[in-house]
Structure 1
Amino acid sequence: MPSYTVTVATGSQWFAGTDDYIYITLVGTERCSEKTLLDKPLYNDFERGAVDSYLVRVDENLGELALVKLEKRKYWVHDDWYCSNISVKTPGGDIVEFPCYRWLVDDTEVVLRDGRARLPQDDKTSLVKQHRKTELEMRQKTYRWREWQPGFPMSIDANGHHDLPRDIQFDSEKGVDFKLNFNKAIQNLLLNHFMNMFQSSWDSIDHFKKIFLKIGNAPSEYVMQHWKEDFVFSYQFLNGCNPVLIKKISKLPAKFPVTNEMVTVSLERQLTLEQEVKAGNIYMVDYEVLDGIKANDSDPKTPQYMAAPICLLYKNTQNEILPIAIQLGQTPGEDNPIFLPTDSQHDWLLAKIWVRSSDFQHHQTVTHLLRTHLISEMFAIATFRQLPTVHPIYKLLIPHVRFTISINTKAREELICERGLFDKANATGGGGHVQLIQKTMKTLTFRSLCFPDMIKARGMDSKQEVPNYFYRDDGHKVWEATKSFVSDVVSIYYSSDEKVQGDDEIQAFVKDVCDNGMKDFHHCGFPRSLESREELIEYLTIIVFTASAQHAAVNFGQYDWYSWIPNTPSTMRQPPPDRKGLANITLIMDSLPDRGRSSWHLGAVWALSQYQDDELYLGTYPDEHFLEKPVNAAMEMFRKSLAEISSAIKTRNQELKIPYDYMSPNRIPNSVAV
């Protein structure tokens, strides 16, 4: 009697094992086996991390093995099981792998396809075609779109983390509980004493050290010591948490009437301001999108304020970019003066503090939340809805959408919801962050998600003209390595542009993103179809890069740059000055966050800057979704390229006062998971 040897691997995460009954049915092109209970008497099967083998006997050969059906049935109480993969040795000695990497919950069954990646047009038999269709129909019922807020990209249809499919939930919900992590941060930073001291101002700048020095690191201590310097102020536009706004300008906007007389003392080349602009030495950061956004009014006892500044910067003869003029509002006038380095020490410092606080609002809501978290979630939902597990692009993307839907759902539960943690200390809390995303979505473009395009559009692409822009330099390297890897994978499965055009599933994926994920935002230019391999490669590179490198660049430096509160206040308690000569140390202290909000802010940026305990970094793919040797070779080449980039960054950083490693691949997680 022929027999098949079935080897079952149970996952190693917490609670992956089960005591429930597990049955298997082998499905071949000729016939099926009988449903067989996988059980070893006197042996505890399916323990966490275990690999168990069983014989499945059949009366006749099944033909080519195509599918495996797993069934889980309750033994005593329902006991979830995480199956990593099934390996089947046929009577002829062949080994057929069936990747699973999913949870079996309650009484359920899962039908697995063998692990060879296949495009839909490559499937020939009705058996595998029907399996493909059934899997997607079930996924589309499970992963549904929902509008969390009007004017937002669409998100997952779930009220909370517990409503999500078990396969995309965090292994341990405690690890991503914002309230729990925030309380942990408060304990670690010894901030309990200050937590409820709202409305209580600090006595002096030095008194911020009472909360800062509990957990210090080299970057944050450097910021504490040098934050008042113009160089450190402007350096953050290049290599801080929000390095995506600075742009070279070809003319001064009418709304920012800076004259040559105002800034001539700052210019070093004996050129006029207009000549410096033409020479490519003038840069600008404009927070126009913040204009009109409602400031946080959740605490009527302490009004909070926002501004929409414009900052002019100059590249001097030492190739340093320095601020030379700041206007705190968008409309010029007597009540909106242009502050200059030649003004009083306190006037200039307060103007810079306002810019930094505005930068914080833009960073948290637009650069971080919208352009990495929400955009990545949209791609993740479409992946689950339109690409079956056998599809090579599903296999490519699945590591880069790991836990993204889950972390965003948690954020909507606890962080950015009404009266959530975001409201505690941020000027855009209380609904301003919602307004800001709605406003930004009116001008968001698909092309701006393409890293080289985004850099070039701001005139920041020349390393010679704009030196020391490490975010750009490292980002380009990671982008090219990622694109090369994606290109290798795409080339393995798509031999021509016609293969892309004829792939109904990849076309449905792109269409789902455009028509549903970006519903009502067709002006953003997301493609509705893909016509070539090159278009597919760029599209996939955008997805992978946004979820990995871009998120890392704008997330993990938050404690470094934001923990010294005066450098980047999360809110301001006095309105921006409407004339010069008002600022003194008293006004600055009254404007900066009080003790309570400072503590909330510090706890939040510490918690958000922590890596997950089980973090998987770029190029690390422990789940073997791909079985093809050419793909594994491409992965190895990708890892080699990333290691070379990490090594080069480490060498360069040894020469820098402020090392930049947020784009170092060994510090870039695969996905948005924190």
Structure 2
Amino acid sequence: MSSLETDMINKSNKMIKGTVVLRQKKFNAVGDTVPPSILDTSSVALKLISASRHDGSGKGKVGKQTFLQDTKSGFNIEFEWDHRSMGKPGAFYIENFLQHEFFLVSLTLEDDLHHETINFVCNSWIYNTEKYKTERIFFSNKAYLPSETPASLVHYIQEELKTLRGDGTGERKEWERIYDYDVYNDLGDPDNKDTTMARPILGGSSTLPYPRRGRTGRKPTLKDPKTESRTQYVYIPRDELLTQLKSTHSVVNRLNLVSQNDTPQLKVLVTLQNNKSDPEFNTFKEVLSLYGEPPNHFPLPKVIEVDNSAWMTDEEFTREMIAGVNPNIISKIPEYPPKSKLDSQLYGDNTTTITKEHLEPYMDGVTIEQAIQGNRLYILDHHDAVYPYLRKLNETDAKAYATRTILFLQDDGTLKPLSIELSRPNTRGDRFGPVTKVYYPASEGVEASIWLLAKAYVVVNDANYHQLVSHWLNTHATVEPFIIATNRHLSVVHPIHKLLHPHYRNTMNINANARNVLINAKGIIESTFLMDSYSMQLSADAYKDWVFTEQGLPNDLIKRGMAVEDQASPHGIRLLIEDYPYASDGLEIWAAIKSWVEEYVSFYYKSDAAIEQDTELQAFWKEVVEVGHGDLKSATWWFKMQTRTELIEACTILIWIASALHAAVNFGQYPYGGFIMNRPTKTRRFMPEKGSFEYYELTKDYEKTYLRTITPMQETLKNMQVMAVLSMHVPDEQYLGDRIEGDLWTSDPEPVEAYKKFGKKLVEIEEKLIQRNIDESLKNRNGPVEMPYTLLHPSSEAGMTFRGIPNSISI
């Protein structure tokens, strides 16, 4: 071998070649990489950091600064790297000397000496280096438990976590990546000249407890130093905006336009009102005229695609309690009469006035005792949640009742309503208890119209509870503290960070925008839903009873009496309503998630002792309990996080909430509620009493009376627009069983293969669910509206598909 050849070999042994993938800010679509010709590559520098050789102080050795090189095919880079003295790269610094930020997708190193590829999955915005107090660092995709982390990387990992935690002071800036907590003190605007814009602070008290949200550090208002001032820009850690792509921009912009009544569909309102003597719907036909070709008309909601009157049937009314957009409220009645938990000293006796004698004539010859023993008596109970607010609400334009709906399970597996109880406060005072009236099913004459109205009062309560508790609180709000704690204490190389990260995508972003236009004072929710300015207080009341361990589907079903433990059944529980679409489909998804999590956790943790010894995991869980959900920290139901079983269950619950549960309560909003008569959000009149003008009007024109009772035209159109936006899948969505990083999210082949197996299992489940929907013996799968239950089918295309389970709460 010649000396020249020897020199070339020695030189190659001291070089590592790499490929960098990045996008500039103005390139917003997934897959749009930056053409080399438009980037000054001499302004982007990288330095490799050793994972196996330290510099004498314990820190991994840092290589020489190297700048990007542009080629026709992309960005290349060559690092001087002596393997003998520097060892194996495990991290790198990057500096951006450009004035604008860019999005760093990945770095791939080719270690020719060891015939090895080292992948760095970055997916992060990189600003000018002067914006940062510490250097931007990225780690390879190798996963480590803290006790197994190479000593050379420990310092860098700890410094990165310290950076992400911040110091809890100051107003956060756009380019920062700091994760910190705050209470919900930015929903109101006490400085506004409109004195009704102030709102109570949620979180930090036993009166109005709440999960924490991401801290922004904006200045306090003048009139209330505990309230944070509102601005159009709401900080979230910059990497939570890695999905600030064309599709996500469209969602946020659409919501902003809706809040300003400035969309083509909302402009229809002007035309409608100009052509009418009053701004109201008078006939069902007028409502149906809203649907047609976009952009000026709304898409036809799925609930009326086949039959525009089937929504009125009792069969559909009850079916939507187990296959609708809020299918996890119904519960079994364990004893009669059902009890109220309201304080009798404050609200009097709230025991139901529905007697056994009222119900049994409608129960096909079955007694109450027999029905309870045979698991055939159920209730949709919105009494206790709504009743405390009624006196104040009914002093406004709203006119509402607290409702109880008693249901009977028939021999064919369907539910039928037996009665509806409407309650409102006593004019003599709360301590005298409610004034109640019971209504029964009717199919003819004025009684049928009265019954239709009674069902509307029930659905309005259900729609409010759904939006504020089932949807916002139980998915969006409760997950955010987990996201914050994960980024503060679980490093990117930690296996549990890698497991959970896909299920956090875009959540802090969509939550911040919700605080700006949806759940804020006089925002879209307050202006279009019954609960008005008390909306978020209702969700805070519900949070008092929130139990993390009951958010998993099996425990939730058992708690509500909808299932019993049964080891002989496929999922360890047996449904008491066998044809319960949400539950039966959900159990398939739950089992698949849990199996995947169990296999993953068992790969990295070989014993329970490893859980207790994991310092990062313990810090993460401690902060979730004591800070993120700190208002409930004294609850005894929190996992102690001492065993693999606890970790598996906690991760399964969290993934379930962020994926399947959110899909079940979100993507059916417009398909069911886009037709306002099926799911009204407000009531403005009390039930007509015999002898009154309203009663006379009802006998002559029940359509007009119904429409004058429920959500008015303006709020209807705004609500429809919001539900349409929230029910859409964006083109770049990531669905359960898929990851944006492909197979590169970890370098460990066993978890990669386990995840592929999980994806294949979801495909099998989807086929199983399709077969269920065509089984004619399962009457609750389609119902009178002929609307197959597909909300828990894992896959979907973009658009409003009434199916698909995204990895995360991304909309």
Q: What's the TM-score once normalised by structure 1's chain length? A: 0.91
Which residue of the partner structure matches residue 103 of structure 1? 125
Which residue of the partner structure matches residue 375 of structure 2? 280
Query: Structure 1: how far apart are the matches of 2:475 and 2:82?
Result: 54
Does structure 1 retain, via aligned residues, the 8 Å contact 2:96–2:126?
no
Aligned partner letter, 2:501: I
Which residue of the partner structure matches residue 257 of structure 1? 353
Aligned partner letter, 2:92: K
Which residue of the partner structure matches residue 20 of structure 2? 8
Change (3 A) 1:427 1:543: same
Change (3 A) 1:295 1:408: farther
Change (3 A) 1:34 1:636: closer
Which residue of the partner structure matches residue 26 of structure 1? 48
After TM superposition, the structure 1 stretch with the greater mean CA deviation from structure 2, 198-207 or 379-388, is 198-207
Does structure 2 retain, via aligned residues, the 8 Å contact 1:204–1:589?
yes
Change (3 A) 1:651 1:566: same
Does structure 1 retain, via aligned residues, the 8 Å contact 2:423–2:435?
no
Does structure 2 retain, via aligned residues, the 8 Å contact 1:365–1:436?
yes
Does structure 2 retain, via aligned residues, the 8 Å contact 1:66–1:113?
no
2:329 to 240, 245, 248: 245
1:123-142 Cα deviation digits (max 9, x unpaired): 252x2111221111111111
In the TM superposition, 1:194-593 aligns within 5 A as 200-212=279-291, 214-222=298-306, 224-251=308-335, 252-253=337-338, 255-268=351-364, 270-287=365-382, 288-293=384-389, 303-329=397-423, 335-342=435-442, 344-429=447-532, 431-461=533-563, 465-522=576-633, 524-525=635-636, 527=638, 529-576=640-687, 583=695, 584=698, 585=702, 586-593=704-711
Could you tell me how far 1:297 is from its partner in structure 2? 7.3
After TM superposition, the structure 1 stretch with the greater mean CA deviation from structure 2, 51-60 or 238-247, is 51-60
Change (3 A) 1:124 1:330: farther
Could you tell me how far 1:596 is from its partner in structure 2? 1.1
Give the aligned CA root-mean-square deviation in angstroms. Answer: 2.8
Could you tell me how far 1:355 is from its partner in structure 2? 0.2
Change (3 A) 1:51 1:161: farther
Matched, 1:615 2:733: yes
Change (3 A) 1:276 1:71: closer
Query: Structure 2: how far apart are the matches of 1:329 and 1:523?
Result: 35
Could you tell me how far 1:572 is from its partner in structure 2? 1.1
Which residue of the partner structure matches residue 792 of structure 2? 663
Could you tell me how far 1:67 is from its partner in structure 2? 3.4
Could you tell me how far 1:304 is from its partner in structure 2? 1.8
2:772 to 639, 652, 658: 652
Query: Structure 1: how far apart are the matches of 2:690 and 2:628?
Result: 45
Which residue of the partner structure matches residue 113 of structure 1? 139
Query: Structure 2: how far apart are the matches of 1:346 and 1:157?
Result: 50
Could you tell me how far 1:465 is from its partner in structure 2? 3.5
1:522-571 Cα deviation digits (max 9, x unpaired): 35556263011011000000111100000000000011111121111111
Matched, 1:166 2:238: yes
Change (3 A) 1:65 1:180: farther
Could you tell me how far 1:163 is from its partner in structure 2? 2.0
Does structure 2 retain, via aligned residues, the 8 Å contact 1:241–1:561?
yes
After TM superposition, the structure 1 stretch with the greater mean CA deviation from structure 2, 163-172 or 228-237, is 163-172
Aligned partner letter, 1:210: S
Aligned partner letter, 1:597: E
Which residue of the partner structure matches residue 36 of structure 1? 65
Query: Structure 1: how far apart are the matches of 2:655 and 2:182?
Result: 23
Could you tell me how far 1:69 is from its partner in structure 2? 2.6
Aligned partner letter, 2:711: P
Could you tell me how far 1:253 is from its partner in structure 2? 2.2
Does structure 1 retain, via aligned residues, the 8 Å contact 2:476–2:507?
yes
Change (3 A) 1:458 1:162: closer
| Pairs aligned (count) | 662
Could you tell me how far 1:611 is from its partner in structure 2? 0.9
Could you tell me how far 1:92 is from its partner in structure 2? 3.7
After TM superposition, the structure 1 stretch with the greater mean CA deviation from structure 2, 654-663 or 243-252, is 654-663
Query: Structure 1: how far apart are the matches of 2:738 and 2:270?
Result: 42
Does structure 1 retain, via aligned residues, the 8 Å contact 2:735–2:794?
yes
Which residue of the partner structure matches residue 152 of structure 1? 210
Does structure 1 retain, via aligned residues, the 8 Å contact 2:312–2:452?
yes
1:113-153 Cα deviation digits (max 9, x unpaired): 2321000011252x211122111111111101010132221
Could you tell me how far 1:464 is from its partner in structure 2? 6.3
Identity %: 25
Does structure 2 retain, via aligned residues, the 8 Å contact 1:26–1:65?
no
Could you tell me how far 1:397 is from its partner in structure 2? 0.7
Unaligned runs of 5+ in 2: 1-10, 56-60, 167-177, 185-200, 203-208, 219-231, 293-297, 340-350, 427-432, 565-573, 776-781, 796-803
Query: Structure 1: how far apart are the matches of 2:373 and 2:48?
Result: 72
Where 1:611 maps in the other structure, the secondary structure is coil
Does structure 2 retain, via aligned residues, the 8 Å contact 1:335–1:578?
no
Query: Structure 2: how far apart are the matches of 1:593 and 1:175?
Result: 27
Change (3 A) 1:396 1:94: same
Which residue of the partner structure matches residue 136 of structure 1? 161
1:395-440 Cα deviation digits (max 9, x unpaired): 11111000101100011011111122223211123x2111101111
In the TM superposition, 1:600-639 aligns within 5 A as 600-623=718-741, 624-639=744-759
Query: Structure 2: how far apart are the matches of 1:200 and 1:188?
Result: 16
Query: Structure 2: how far apart are the matches of 1:284 and 1:372?
Result: 24
After TM superposition, the structure 1 stretch with the greater mean CA deviation from structure 2, 77-86 or 328-337, is 328-337
Aligned partner letter, 2:556: M
Change (3 A) 1:280 1:94: closer
Change (3 A) 1:208 1:266: same
Could you tell me how far 1:610 is from its partner in structure 2? 0.7
Does structure 2 retain, via aligned residues, the 8 Å contact 1:511–1:529?
no
Does structure 1 retain, via aligned residues, the 8 Å contact 2:281–2:287?
yes
Aligned partner letter, 2:516: E
Where 1:593 maps in the other structure, the secondary structure is coil
Where 1:293 maps in the other structure, the secondary structure is helix
Could you tell me how far 1:640 is from its partner in structure 2? 0.8
Could you tell me how far 1:83 is from its partner in structure 2? 3.1
Could you tell me how far 1:445 is from its partner in structure 2? 1.2
Does structure 1 retain, via aligned residues, the 8 Å contact 2:439–2:454?
yes
Where 1:116 maps in the other structure, the secondary structure is coil
Which structure has more RCO (C-alpha within 8 Å, separation ≥ 6)?
A: 1
Query: Structure 1: how far apart are the matches of 2:607 and 2:272?
Result: 61
Query: Structure 1: how far apart are the matches of 2:113 and 2:772?
Result: 57
Where 1:596 maps in the other structure, the secondary structure is helix
Which residue of the partner structure matches residue 809 of structure 2? 672
